[in-house]
Every structure is written in structure tokens, then in C-alpha cells.
């Protein structure tokens, strides 16, 4: 709850065009608090809040105010001034925050409901700058409230935090795209079993995450968040909960092919009554009634082969990363810092690589029998050569090759560039192969079917990068790799010890590509990993 208030504060500051650094600081603090194992309220009361990463004196003062008085006065003030439900509704309609506020002022309305009434009464056209076409578009968008998705979905990790918070508050369960671990989530839904739907629906409307309710009937409601994301709450009688959960999980095509669904309290019982095996949500995209494969799971993973340290753009040392990975139950990690061509951040020269070896050796002494491998995330230069000489690469135990600059190359050149790099005898894995940033940058033009052939000959694996804005390979591409016979590596590309937690996202993405433990390199013991070196 404390974290949600800080997030709300950050969102409102953003509407005010506040300093982006301040906004980021509040978001980071919210994340820290969300993942803290200690009670933040206790830390604040005993004056120790600043022991948490990212909590400075300014944020500490806000936290103290929130815990002592139950609110942040400036947040309450901003909420009055900026009418966040209006802004949320405006975002949902495709209007910027400022435009929403201007529009509301011209109409003389203060809430989302008043805005809807004014629109329905035909008053939009009285606003300067709104012509018949814009009015029609807004009315149409208001009319299909919640049925359609916003243009861009939420990144999976954000959507997951949001839905888990709401589900916990209402004693329900996340469904929709989040339960299927889609990389960008558009259909957000929470399902609750209850005999008293109206009280659950009222609690939903009061949640800090929900700024306006767009639509409500006896059993379900559609709310909108401050970011303008619509979110559906579904309540079900306990006897029908399993059926409601299955339906709300989707995908639409998958569920439609199973209809009519029998009613049952548990999802497994619905599948049982249909006479088909339970299907993991990650596989519920296209219609499927068969026996699902035994998908890879978190406990199959023995190590993480892509992470950074303070030698490049990471925040922790090799030993700190190793200790955190050991606490997660792993047997090994590979430290893969950048090389100089990466540009924006520090990259390791051949000299640096050799000096880093001493740090890694010391980490191995401290953590034995856990193993920290000497690795590298070596840039693939525009001409397909690697950014470090072969004699340096030959010393390393795990070499990732990555395209960073020049993602927009035409398909022929990009494919040739990567093929050449994969033919280097020391390369074990291609990092984030399609170079995408979800909802921000399209995939590069790499012809995967061609590079899969080279990867197969050269025994190079393809990464499933677990950074929430990458998730690259995607589920579909994982499946294509496996069909081609290429193995994948589930990695976090962690830049901090916390970043190691993104393994869940990588694994889920591999599962969406139907990967079993045998398809994933880092389910293997260390000697098998090291044996992948070509001699």
C-alpha cells in the first residue's frame, strides 16, 4: 500500500511535468519497498528507512508523513488539482494529460462521470478545437469502454505488479494476459470467488490503483488506472469459480474452441469434465486439446549465464552476484560484462578482462563449491567481427555475442553479420537475438531460419533474455528455434542482485515457446556447460 501511494505520487508528478529524476526516484523507491523483506513502516518509525536502496531524505520525509498521518498532503493536493480519474479516462481515450485537464475545464466538469455525461449530452463539440470527427472518435471510445485494448499494452512485470496488488487486496487471482505471461499485456483481469459480489465490486472501485470505474454490472466492473489502462474485475459464485478463471485467462481463441465450458469450482475440474488434460496458461494461445509437454520450470535451472558487474554497467561485484545466485539455489553463474564497442556504457578492454579474472578467482575462493565463470558479452561489430581478439576470448569460459549498435541494418547485412559472428569458435550464445524493446523499438531484420542453421552447425545456443522490456527471443521465436533443433539459454541479463529475479520472466517466455528442461542449456550441470566449448 505504501508503494502504491508512492507510485501514484510519481504518476501525478509526471502529469505536472516535474523533474524526471524525481519521478524516477519515487518509482524506484516504490519498487524497493515492494520487494523489501523488512517492514517499511517499522524502518520509518525507527528512523532507518534510508538503509533501503534508493530512499533519500526527501522520500524518507514523505514516508514518515504517510505513516504518521495516513496520507501525503501534497499528493492529496495534486489529486484534487489534477483529477486523476479524468486524466486516467483521458489517457484511455488517447488524450494527453494536459489536454484532458483542459477539456475538463472547458466543459466545467471535475470527474470522469461528469465528463461522460457531458459527452453523452453532445457538449464536446462546444469545446474549441474539437470538431465533429474528434467528437465521434471520443464518443465511440467511451461507448466501447473496456472492450478494446489500449494501443500499447503494459510490460509484463508492470502488469504483474499491478494485478498482484489488486488480486491480493480483493482476495482474488490475476487472469488475462498476465496469467499467460504475455510480454505486453492488454487484457488485464482479476477473478474473485464470492457470494457477495457487490461488496467486492465496491472495494475494487475504492482501490488506490483504480482512478475511475468505466462500467459496472452485478458481477463485473471495468476500472481504469492512472495510466489509462482498463482492467476488468470478474466475480464468480464459488461453485463456478474454475470456469470463470479459465474464461478470464483466455486467450479468446483458445477458450472459444473449448466452449461450451462445464461449470466447476476448480479449473482442473473444468478440464477434467471436458475430458482433456489441464493446460498450462502459457500454452493457451491457439486452440489446443492435446497433452501438453512437461515444460521447463524454475527448479530445473542450475545457473544464470548472463549478468553484469560494476566492471561495466552493473551495480554489484562478481562476488555479490555469486552470493545472491547461490542463495537462489544455483550452482554457477557467468559474469558477462560489456566490451568497448557497446558505446553508451563502460566496456572491458583485453587488459580489463584479464584483471577482472583476479576478482572472479577471489569470488570463486570465497564461494566454493559454487562457480563463477569468466564470461563476456562481446559486441558483434558491424562487419561481423567480434570486439575482442580470439586469444582473449579463448581464455573465457562462456562467451555471449550481442548486436547493440546498428540494429536497423537491412536483413541481408544483419543476417550475414550475425552468421559471421556465430562462426567464431568461442561464441556459445547469441544474446537478445532480435534486439527488440517491447513497445518501443521493433525487432531487427535478422533472418532467424538462416542463423538457426549456422547455430546448429556451430553448437551456439540462443538466449531468452529476461529483461522485462526485452524478453528476446519471444515465445514464438523460442518455438521456431526448438523446431530447428537449436537450444535456448534462460538468462536474466541482471545488472543488480535483484535483477536475478527476472529468471521467472525468461522461463515463462521459454515455456510460451513450449520449451522443456532438455531444451534449455542452463538446466545442465556445470561440466556439460563447460563441455560446450569447442576444442
Among 377, 397, 463, 472, binds Zn ion (CB under 5 A): 377
Among 32, 235, 402, 487, binds Zn ion (CB under 5 A): 402
Minimum CB distance to Zn ion, residue 312 (Å): 8
Instruction: Verify binding: residue 387, Zn ion, rule CB under 5 A.
Output: no
- State the virtual CA torsion across 509, 511, 512, 518 in degrees, nearest 10: 110
Minimum CB distance to Zn ion, residue 528 (Å): 23
27/308 with CB nearer Zn ion: 308
402/523 with CB nearer Zn ion: 402
Stretch that binds Zn ion, among 7-15, 38-46, 174-182, 374-382 (CB under 5 A): 374-382
93/378 with CB nearer Zn ion: 378
179/477 with CB nearer Zn ion: 477
Instruction: Verify binding: residue 339, Zn ion, rule CB under 5 A.
Output: no
341/445 with CB nearer Zn ion: 341
Instruction: Verify binding: residue 444, Zn ion, rule CB under 5 A.
Output: no
Instruction: State how far the Cα of 277 lies from the Cα of 268, in Å rounded to an integer.
Output: 8
> Phi and psi of 49, rounded to 5°?
-60, -30
- Return the C-alpha cell found at 218: 452485478
145 Cβ contact list (under 8 Å, min separation 6)? 92, 214, 215, 222, 230
Minimum CB distance to Zn ion, residue 105 (Å): 46
Among 249, 493, 514, 529, binds Zn ion (CB under 5 A): 493
3-class SS of residue 492: coil
Q: Which of 71, 72, 130, 89 is nearest to 106 (CA)?
A: 130
Q: Which residue has the cell 562478481?
A: 318
CA distances from 262 to 147, 242, 269, 275, 283 (A): 25, 9, 9, 11, 20
Minimum CB distance to Zn ion, residue 347 (Å): 11
Minimum CB distance to Zn ion, residue 377 (Å): 5
173/377 with CB nearer Zn ion: 377
177/379 with CB nearer Zn ion: 379
Instruction: Verify binding: residue 173, Zn ion, rule CB under 5 A.
Output: no
Minimum CB distance to Zn ion, residue 426 (Å): 17
- Return the C-alpha cell found at 191: 477473478
Count of chain residues binding Zn ion (CB under 5 A)? 3
Minimum CB distance to Zn ion, residue 304 (Å): 12
Instruction: Verify binding: residue 85, Zn ion, rule CB under 5 A.
Output: no
14/493 with CB nearer Zn ion: 493
90/499 with CB nearer Zn ion: 499
CB 218 within 8 A of CB 200: no
Minimum CB distance to Zn ion, residue 404 (Å): 6
Stretch that binds Zn ion, among 116-124, 125-133, 317-325, 486-494 (CB under 5 A): 486-494
Residues in the chain: 535
3-class SS of residue 255: helix
CB 421 within 8 A of CB 384: yes
Instruction: Verify binding: residue 379, Zn ion, rule CB under 5 A.
Output: no
252 Cβ contact list (under 8 Å, min separation 6)? none
Instruction: State how far the Cα of 505 lies from the Cα of 507, in Å rounded to an integer.
Output: 5
How would DSSP label each residue in 97-123?
HHHHHHHHHHHT--SHHHHHHHHHTT-
Stretch that binds Zn ion, among 256-264, 370-378, 469-477, 527-535 (CB under 5 A): 370-378
CB 210 within 8 A of CB 231: yes
Stretch that binds Zn ion, among 42-50, 90-98, 145-153, 376-384 (CB under 5 A): 376-384
Stretch that binds Zn ion, among 4-12, 117-125, 194-202, 371-379 (CB under 5 A): 371-379
Minimum CB distance to Zn ion, residue 110 (Å): 47
Instruction: Verify binding: residue 304, Zn ion, rule CB under 5 A.
Output: no
Q: Which of 453, 397, 392, 458 is nearest to 424 (CA)?
A: 458
Instruction: Verify binding: residue 31, Zn ion, rule CB under 5 A.
Output: no
Quickly list H helices, 144-219: 156-170, 176-179, 197-206
132/344 with CB nearer Zn ion: 344
Minimum CB distance to Zn ion, residue 306 (Å): 6
Stretch that binds Zn ion, among 126-134, 272-280, 490-498, 510-518 (CB under 5 A): 490-498
Q: Let me know how many helices (H) and strands (E) the chain has, helices first.
A: 23, 14
Contacts from 131-138 at CB under 8 Å and sequence distance 24+?
A: 137/94, 138/93
Q: How many CB atoms lie within 10 A of CB 133?
A: 8
377/397 with CB nearer Zn ion: 377
Minimum CB distance to Zn ion, residue 477 (Å): 17
377/387 with CB nearer Zn ion: 377
446-464: string of b/e by CB count within 10 Å (b at 16+)?
Answer: bebeebbebbeeeebbbbb
- Binding residues for Zn ion, rule: CB under 5 A, are 377, 402, 493
Amino acid at each position: 500500500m505504501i508503494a502504491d501511494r508512492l507510485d501514484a505520487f510519481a504518476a501525478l508528478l509526471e502529469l505536472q511535468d516535474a523533474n524526471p529524476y524525481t519521478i524516477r526516484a519515487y518509482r524506484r523507491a516504490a519498487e524497493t519497498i515492494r520487494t523489501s523483506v523488512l517492514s517499511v513502516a517499522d524502518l520509518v518509525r525507527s528512523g532507518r528507512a534510508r538503509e533501503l536502496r534508493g530512499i533519500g531524505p526527501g522520500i524518507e520525509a514523505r514516508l514518515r508523513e504517510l505513516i504518521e498521518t495516513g496520507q501525503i498532503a501534497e499528493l492529496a493536493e495534486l489529486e484534487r488539482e489534477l483529477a486523476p480519474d479524468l486524466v486516467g479516462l483521458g489517457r484511455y481515450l488517447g488524450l494527453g494529460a494536459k489536454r484532458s485537464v483542459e477539456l475538463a475545464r472547458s466543459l466545467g466538469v471535475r470527474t470522469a462521470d461528469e465528463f461522460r455525461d457531458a459527452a453523452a449530452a453532445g457538449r464536446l463539440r462546444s469545446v474549441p478545437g474539437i470538431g465533429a470527427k474528434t467528437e465521434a472518435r471520443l464518443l465511440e471510445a467511451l461507448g466501447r469502454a473496456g472492450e478494446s485494448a489500449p494501443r500499447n499494452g503494459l510490460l509484463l512485470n508492470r502488469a504483474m505488479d499491478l494485478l498482484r496488488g489488486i488480486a491480493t487486496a480483493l482476495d482474488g487471482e490475476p487472469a488475462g494476459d498476465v496469467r499467460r505471461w504475455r510480454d505486453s499485456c492488454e487484457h488485464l483481469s482479476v477473478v474473485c470467488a464470492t457470494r457477495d459480489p457487490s461488496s467486492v465490486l465496491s472495494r475494487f472501485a475504492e482501490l488506490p490503483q483504480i482512478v475511475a470505474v468505466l462500467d459496472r454490472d452485478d458481477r463485473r466492473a471495468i476500472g481504469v488506472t492512472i495510466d489509462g489502462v482498463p482492467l476488468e474485475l470478474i466475480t464468480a459464485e464459488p461453485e463456478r469459480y474454475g470456469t470463470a478463471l479459465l474464461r478470464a485467462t483466455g486467450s479468446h481463441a483458445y477458450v472459444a474452441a473449448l466452449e461450451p465450458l462445464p461449470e466447476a469450482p476448480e479449473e482442473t475440474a473444468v478440464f477434467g469434465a471436458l475430458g482433456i488434460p489441464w493446460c498450462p496458461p502459457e500454452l493457451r494461445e491457439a486452440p489446443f486439446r492435446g497433452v501438453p509437454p512437461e515444460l521447463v520450470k524454475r527448479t530445473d535451472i542450475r545457473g544464470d549465464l548472463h549478468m553484469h558487474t560494476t566492471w561495466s554497467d552493473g551495480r554489484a561485484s562478481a562476488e555479490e552476484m555469486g552470493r545472491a545466485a547461490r542463495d537462489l539455489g544455483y550452482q554457477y553463474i557467468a559474469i558477462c560484462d560489456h566490451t568497448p564497442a557497446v558505446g553508451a556504457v563502460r566496456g572491458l578492454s583485453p587488459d580489463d578482462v584479464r584483471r577482472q579474472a583476479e576478482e572472479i578467482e577471489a569470488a570463486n575462493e570465497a564461494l566454493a563449491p559454487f562457480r563463477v565463470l569468466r564470461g563476456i558479452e562481446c559486441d558483434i561489430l558491424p562487419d561481423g567481427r567480434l570486439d575482442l581478439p580470439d586469444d582473449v576470448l579463448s581464455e573465457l569460459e562462456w562467451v555471449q555475442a550481442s548486436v547493440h549498435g546498428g540494429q536497423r541494418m537491412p536483413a541481408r547485412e544483419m543476417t550475414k553479420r550475425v552468421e559471421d559472428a556465430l562462426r567464431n569458435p568461442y561464441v556459445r550464445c547469441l544474446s537478445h537475438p532480435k534486439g527488440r524493446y517491447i513497445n518501443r523499438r521493433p525487432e531487427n531484420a535478422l533472418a532467424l531460419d538462416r542463423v538457426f542453421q549456422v547455430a546448429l552447425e556451430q553448437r551456439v545456443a540462443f538466449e531468452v533474455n529476461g529483461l522485462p522490456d526485452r524478453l528476446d527471443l519471444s515465445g514464438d521465436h523460442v518455438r521456431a528455434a526448438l523446431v530447428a533443433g537449436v537450444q535456448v539459454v534462460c538468462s536474466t541479463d541482471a545488472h543488480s542482485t535483484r535483477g536475478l529475479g527476472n529468471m521467472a520472466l525468461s522461463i515463462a517466455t521459454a515455456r510460451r515457446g513450449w520449451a522443456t528442461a532438455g531444451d534449455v542449456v542452463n538446466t545442465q550441470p556445470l561440466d556439460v556447460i563447460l563441455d560446450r566449448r569447442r576444442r
